[in-house]
Amino acid sequence: MATKFSEQKNKEETVPPVDLDLIAQGVRMILEGIGEDPERSGLQETPQRVAEMFAELTSGMREDPNEHVVPLPGDKHDEMVIVKDISIASMCEHHLAPFVGKCHIAYIPKGGRILGISKLARLAETFSRRLQLQERLTTDIANTLFEGLKPLGVMVVIEAEHTCMTLRGVRKADAKTVTSAVLGGFRTDPRTRAEAMSLIKGRD
């Protein structure tokens, strides 16, 4: 499936190292721009702290997500696998404001090929640690799993709260955005898709 994702997934091959000094300079300019004094006691270390935070929140740009899509040797399974309620935190590329939520990943193995369940969480983590749109984050995860593991089907659902909407603009504190990416058997078989959604929506 051709999407903008194909331009995104291998960014880590060309992205330069984080320039902490350059980020810190920019933060100082922001502080000055809002009328603050970067030299006052409470703000002296802020530019460096923010630079280090940005490095952490964008660390996925320098990681290869395909490293997490390696089948477990020897293990075989052909029934649906779901890992739900994976906590994610990402940064909206429009406002550089965080969005946080839960990611649910389902797939149907083919040929018995399965992943360790922690790999699904790591895949979500790698893609969320980038400047993102929730829609693209959802398809990033789904496409990489579908292309790398070659299962019969993949479904990814993300529910997230965007601070660019809860803290500014319309300021709707309880609003959540839900996105999904559905590939293979989950797209072509409504009953299989409904089963996965039922299991994802079920809460302990």
Please list the active-site residues. 92-95, 134, 162, 164
**What is the rounded distance in angstroms from the CA atom of residue 112 to the CA atom of residue 117?**
15
Region at 202 (left for phi over 0; alpha for psi -120 to 50; beta for the rest) = beta
- Report which secondary-structure segment, H or E, holds 193: helix 190-201
Q: Please name the residues in contact with 54: beta carbons below 8 A apart, sequence gap of 6 or more.
A: 18, 23
- How far is residue 5 from each of residues 36, 111, 114, 132, measured CA to CA in Å? 39, 26, 23, 11
